[in-house]
Amino acid sequence: MRIGIDLGGTKIEIAVLDSTGTIVHRARVPTPAGDYEATLAAIARLVADAEQMHGRAQGIGIGTPGSISRSTGCIKNSNSVCLNGRNLRADLQALLGRELRIANDANCFALSEAIDGAGAGSAIVFGVILGTGVGGGLVVNGHLLDGPNGITGEWGHNPLLLDAQRTLGAPRACYCGRVGCVETVLSGPAMAADHAFASGEPAQASLTAEQIAQRARAGERSCIQTLERYATNLAQALAVVINIVDPDVVVLGGGISNIDPLYELVPAHWAKWVFSDRVQTRLVRNQHGDSSGVRGAAWLAA
Ligand SMILES: [Zn+2]
- pLDDT at res. 54: 95
Q: Using the mean position of ligand 1's atoms as its centre, give its distance from the Cα of residue 271 in Å.
A: 25
Distance 174 CA to ligand 1 centre (A): 5
* Inter-residue contact 117 to 251 (CB < 8 Å): yes
Q: Report the DSSP pairing between strands 124-130 and 101-104.
A: unpaired
What spacing in Å lies between the alpha carbon of 56 and ligand 1's midpoint? 41
Residue 9's pLDDT is what?
Answer: 85
Distance 206 CA to ligand 1 centre (A): 22
What is the 134 CA–ligand 1 centroid distance (Å)? Answer: 9
Q: CA-to-CA distance for 104 and 129, rounded, in angstroms?
A: 12
Cα torsion through 60, 63, 69, 73, rounded to 10? -30
In what order do the strands lie in the sheet containing 23-30? 23-30, 11-17, 2-7, 59-64, 101-104
pLDDT of res. 247 = 98
In this prediction, residue 76 carries a pLDDT of: 85
User: What pLDDT, on the 0 to 100 scale, is given for residue 81?
Assistant: 83
* Single-letter code of the amino acid located at 89: R
CA of 24 to the centre of ligand 1 (A): 39
Residue 137 Cα to ligand 1 midpoint, Å, equals: 17
Provide the pLDDT for residue 17. 95
Report how far ligand 1's centroid is from the alpha carbon of 120 (Å). Answer: 30
pLDDT at 70: 82
Looking at this protein, which amino acid is placed at residue 96?
Answer: L
- The CA 228 to ligand 1 mean position distance, Å, reads 23
180 C-alpha to ligand 1 centroid (Å): 7
267 CA distance to ligand 1 middle (Å): 25
Q: How many Å lie between the centroid of ligand 1 and the Cα of residue 161?
A: 14
Instruction: Tell me the CA–centroid distance for residue 151 and ligand 1, in Å.
Output: 13
Specify the pLDDT at position 164: 67
pLDDT tens-digit profile, the chain (302 residues): 999 999 988 899 999 999 888 999 999 999 998 899 999 999 999 999 999 999 999 999 999 988 888 888 898 878 788 899 999 999 999 999 999 999 999 999 999 999 999 999 999 999 999 998 899 999 999 999 988 888 899 999 998 877 766 676 778 888 888 988 999 999 999 999 999 989 888 767 789 999 999 999 999 999 999 999 999 999 999 999 999 999 999 999 999 999 999 999 999 999 999 999 999 999 999 999 889 999 999 999 87
Q: Kindly give the distance from the C-alpha atom of residue 2 to the centroid of ligand 1, in angstroms, as a whole number.
A: 35
156 CA distance to ligand 1 centroid (A)?
A: 7
Write down the pLDDT at residue 171: 80
Are the beta carbons of 7 and 68 closer than 8 angstroms?
Answer: no
How many Å apart are CA 23 and CA 1, to the nearest integer?
A: 10
CA of 92 to the centre of ligand 1 (A): 30
pTM of the model: 0.92
Total residue length of the chain: 302
Ligand 1 centroid to Cα of residue 133, in Å, is: 10
Buried b or exposed e, range 218-228, using 16+ CB within 10 angstroms? eeeeebbebbe
